[in-house]
Chain A
């Protein structure tokens, strides 16, 4: 009797359902759409559709001067604008053979690390939202607000700064930054500990994240994954350590790594990175070198002929600029390598075979930003 039923079930045509997801769904972090082929609750195949935020930034770059293009760089990964700016400026500086003075380098490090904390706080909030908790979002954005206020004092902007310039920074760091940061440094670790008690050790949260979306390092290498996604799988690789730029070798900080390679490890890595970034900013503010905050650069920037690829550790992973110069005031070709693009490319591989609800969590664990994916 039972055998017959089984045979009957096998003979039935297997029908998969196709579910459209997005592009306006809140948990896709922007305008991202995917079509999931599902078998019951399980995902069999994901077909991501991107390009809703495609602005043709690489083409615009060819029609603008190096300085005119710089404000657009903020709009790539808009949660970590200063990291993008830093990378672009480093690339142009490498072409022109100029080096920022030590004070500018330290200010750049402060900017980049503060922005990393701000970006990871968004991740913290979004991760809670993905697993059904609303409170972390409010907490995360509240503390991010304090950092944005510091940015406002430093750069005059909160999300799009145009602060780091080719050859240094736009203006010197103000003394109030240290006062504000010291206050933040005193309050924030206490708060962070409270948040971690609330979320990180929460049983529901752990059950949703642990052993979900396990990725092996060999696969991650092959897919071109970088940043906290790579580190979550036990690869202690950080461009700040391996190819130090902007004086990162002077600071004392640790690289957190996961051991299991699941979503929970990626979450823990990012939470630990917040603490390490706080350490770096405190060190940089304490030992701020004196001197100029910028070198003299020509008014019209015309890098000599050649091509460079410069990468740095962005908030989500490896961000890089490949610039081909022909000696003009416009770049001949500018290619932007963004971590989100590579990570969403990996989504089908990472999420297939999981439940629909877990696919959202896996996508959230890559911490993608569509502005940087579509460019």
Chain B
């Protein structure tokens, strides 16, 4: 196996935008870029996520081959899916955001593109109650499946079991 060396590379978010924008336009994906603390956020429509991810992954110049994680955030009115991708070749990071309907969240699986997304999607599905379409094996991962509601939604409250303190019986 040959050794590939990755070293510190100064990156500019404008380069990333310039590289992604024309390719996304030809693929027919509308991307809204924003920046925060040197991080690049891409907001896209929920129907385009699979198309956009496969574009980023398969394109030789972009080569976003690595998924750091994916998760969701519950904003009560809507749920936001967050995909964090990384390109080894260019040392680029992007965070993709997708808005889903809060009452009936449905999103396509990216598992066929990033196999590492498998468990992250399963975890997100059970924690937020998101229906992930075309996932090969969408069963419970961390939870037992007997809790009412979805734990990481904002309307799920932690229940504390109140227990009465019973002093130990005194020995005579």
A: which residues have CB within 8 A of B?
A: 50-51, 54, 56, 58-60, 63, 94-95, 216-218, 221-225, 233-237, 241-244, 249, 257-261, 306-309, 311, 318, 320, 322, 324, 332-333, 335, 337, 341-342, 344-346, 349, 374-375
Contacts and interface: CB of A to CB of B under 8 A. Distances in A.
Contacts of B151: 56, 59
A222 B64 CA distance: 10
Contacts of A324: 73
B115 interface: yes
B4 interface: yes
Given A259-B1, A260-B1, A318-B68, 7 more contacts: A224-B69, A224-B117, A234-B4, A235-B88, A261-B1, A322-B69, A322-B82
B141 A224 contact: no
B114 A234 contact: no
Contacts of B141: 50-51
B142 interface: yes
A345 B119 contact: yes
A51 B142 contact: yes
Contacts of B2: 234
A307 B73 CA distance: 11
B6 A242 contact: yes
B144 interface: yes
Given A51-B144, A54-B143, A309-B95, A217 B115 contact: no
B37 A257 contact: no
Interface of B: 1-9, 36-37, 39, 65-69, 71, 73-74, 82, 84, 88, 91, 93, 95, 114-120, 140-144, 151-152, 156, 158
Given A242-B91, A332-B73, A345-B116, A58 B82 contact: no
A234 B151 CA distance: 40
Decide if the interface of chain A is mainly helix, strand, loop or mixed.
mixed
Contact of A309 (B7, B84, B118): B84
A99 B121 CA distance: 34
Contacts of A249: 8
A224 B36 contact: no
A59 B152 contact: yes
B92 to A, nearest CB: 11
Contact of B6 (A54, A60, A225, A235): A235
Which of B4, B66, B93, B95 has the largest number of chain A CB atoms within 10 A?
B66
Nearest to B154: A62
A223 B111 CA distance: 10
Query: What 6 A-B pairs are tightest by C-beta distance, nearest first?
Result: A224-B116, A51-B142, A337-B69, A221-B65, A234-B1, A345-B119
B3 A259 contact: yes
A234 B3 contact: yes
Contacts of B93: 309
Decide if the interface of chain B is mainly helix, strand, loop or mixed.
loop
B114 A222 contact: yes
A237 B142 contact: no
A244 B8 CA distance: 8
Nearest to A320: B68
B89 to A, nearest CB: 10
A318 B69 CA distance: 11
Contacts of A258: 1
Nearest to A342: B116
13 contacts: A56-B151, A58-B152, A235-B88, A259-B1, A309-B93, A311-B68, A320-B68, A322-B82, A333-B152, A337-B68, A341-B120, A345-B118, A374-B142
Contacts of A375: 142
A51 to B, nearest CB: 4
A241 B36 contact: no
A307 B34 CA distance: 12
B84 A322 contact: yes
Nearest to A305: B36
A346 B116 contact: yes
Nearest to B122: A345
Given A241-B8, A257-B3, A223 B115 contact: yes
B115 A349 contact: yes
B132 to A, nearest CB: 15
A96 to B, nearest CB: 11
